[in-house]
Amino acid sequence: MAQEEKVLVVERKVLEEVGEFEGLAFDVERYLGKIFVQGVPRFMPRFQAEKDPSYKQIIPYVIMACNGKYLSYVRGTR
């Protein structure tokens, strides 16, 4: 039996308080004090998070740079 995949979510209303966005947000400081408070972020099954519009998935990204070069990769499917 495969383990159910869980994703990190926050309630959409929490993001609306500080300014909701789509895609990448580079001004992360404004979100940290609201999102990373005990009890606010939580994990829920992916299928539930994708069907419930009252939750927003937190998908972390990292930009790695060294001497003017950037690491890149293509997200694939399994």
Per-residue pLDDT for the chain (78 aa), expressed as one digit of tens each?
Answer: 568 899 999 999 998 888 877 777 778 788 888 888 898 999 999 999 999 999 999 887 788 999 999 998 887 776
In a domain, 32, yes or no: yes
In a domain, 23, yes or no: yes
Closest Cα partner for 7 from 53, 60, 78, 54? 60
Q: Is residue 28 part of a domain?
A: yes
**Total tally of structural domains belonging to the chain:** 1
In angstroms, the CA 69 to CA 65 distance is: 5
pLDDT for the residue 70: 92
The domain of 32 spans 6-70
Residue 52 placed within a domain: yes
Entry pTM? 0.70
Question: Is 1 inside a domain boundary?
Answer: no
